[in-house]
Structure formats: structure tokens, C-alpha cells
A and B are shown apart, each in its own frame.
Chain A
Amino acid sequence: EDKVVQSPLSLVVHEGDTVTLNCSYEVTNFRSLLWYKQEKKAPTFLFMLTSSGIEKKSGRLSSILDKKELFSILNITATQTGDSAVYLCAVEAQSGGSNYKLTFGKGTLLTVNP
């Protein structure tokens, strides 16, 4: 069975801190790894990673994938209170023909205090 494990489950930091969120996975026929940010309502897409070692960056957020060690990290530098959210990691895997499976981790709840 495919597994996606995120750590830590929750994290409290002060504004300006840098945080690293972890996502490890065990899937068959890996296709891509996705990061989402979920505030009060719907998730919003952050990154999609398919290749090892290539950093994706968007402002203060960056992410990288290690397909050999089967994990990804999401970094947030100079955190702001608006970064407070649940960060979800998900892994897509091929499951025959054009079908695929998507497995989510339980998320990391990040709280940034002023």
C-alpha cells in the first residue's frame, strides 16, 4: 500500500524563522510529488516535483525532491503570520494504463506567531 508520511505533524515558530517541512514516501511507479497549502478552506497548489535534485522556488518557498532516498522537503524562509496553514504533501503514482493514484500525507500544521 502506498504511504506518504509528513513530519513534523505540527510546528510553532516566530515570524522571521526559517522552517523545513518533511515528506517521505513509499509508492510503486512514482510519477510526481506535490505540495499544497491549506488555510481555512480549500488547498492551493504550491509545487510539483518530478526530478531529483532540482529545486523549485516561489518567493520565500522552495522545495526539492530526492528520489533515491524517497523524500522531499519544503523550506519557508523569513516566515510571516500569513504562512500559518496546513501544508500537505501528496504523491502521484501510475496505476495501470492512463490511471494513476494520489496519496496524501496527514499534513503539517504550521503556526507562525508575531
Chain B
Amino acid sequence: DTAVSQTPKYLVTQMGNDKSIKCEQNLGHDTMYWYKQDSKKFLKIMFSYNNKELIINETVPNRFSPKSPDKAHLNLHINSLELGDSAVYFCASSQGLRKETQYFGPGTRLLVL
């Protein structure tokens, strides 16, 4: 059984488009995250949601917006895509802020042309 799943796995799109990446976890966790890993493998946290409340929002452009319809889902919407948005986006979840319970999804590789 998949603990944290993301769709799509790969996403190729043109500059200027709007796209969404979906994330679902079936672990019963109450905290979910989005991370971005660039081409140099540098990992950076973007957002963290706990009980549907945003508890961390690093300095990401406001073109990126997380949407959490319920505790099991945290989707990432990206408007007006730019070349620099090309990266692998990882979703993760944990119980509270306990990182020892954190599981990552398989990642979504986004390529903006």
C-alpha cells in the first residue's frame, strides 16, 4: 500500500501555463509538506500544513499555492509557470511535527519548456 502518493509522476508543460500536482497520504498523519529539489539536488521546504492550517511558508513566489481540502490531501497549484520552476517536487507527511514519522512521496518531475 502506498503511504504517500503524488500525481502526476512527470509533468512537461509550456511557460505561462497553470498546473497542479496532487498529493494524498493514507497514514492518518495530520501534517503535510511540499518540498522542491532543483537540478543541483538542493532540497528546500516550501509549505507545511498541520490540521489544514499553514504553519510554514518559506519565501516562495505567490504563483505557488497549496490547497488542502482535507487532512489526507495537500495539492500544489502553480500559476504562470516559469523555466526556473523546473524541479522535482516532493510531498511528505508526518504525525505532528515529528520528523521521525515523516514519509516522502515519490516525487513529481516538472519540466517547463
Contact = CB atoms under 8 A, between A and B. Distances in A.
B53 to A, nearest CB: 9
A48 to B, nearest CB: 5
Contact of B107 (A41, A92, A107): A41
How big is the A interface, by class? 20 to 34
A101 B50 CA distance: 14
B43 A41 contact: no
A16 interface: no
Contacts, number: 48
Dominant secondary structure of chain A at its interface with chain B: strand
Contacts of A101: 45, 56, 58
Interface in A66-114: 86, 88, 90, 92, 95, 98-102, 104, 106-107
B70 interface: no
B87 to A, nearest CB: 14
B43 A104 contact: yes
A32 to B, nearest CB: 7
Contacts of B100: 45, 48
Contacts of B104: 42-44
A20 to B, nearest CB: 21
A34 interface: yes
Interface string B44-55: 110000100001
Contacts of A107: 41-43
A83 B104 CA distance: 19
Contact of A42 (B40, B42, B45, B107): B107
Given A42-B106, A44-B104, A88 B97 contact: no
Interface in B12-38: none
Contacts of A38: 41, 43
B56 A104 contact: no
Contact of B99 (A34, A104, A106): A34
Interface of A: 32, 34, 38, 41-45, 48, 86, 88, 90, 92, 95, 98-102, 104, 106-107
7 contacts: A41-B106, A43-B90, A48-B99, A88-B43, A98-B50, A104-B44, A107-B41
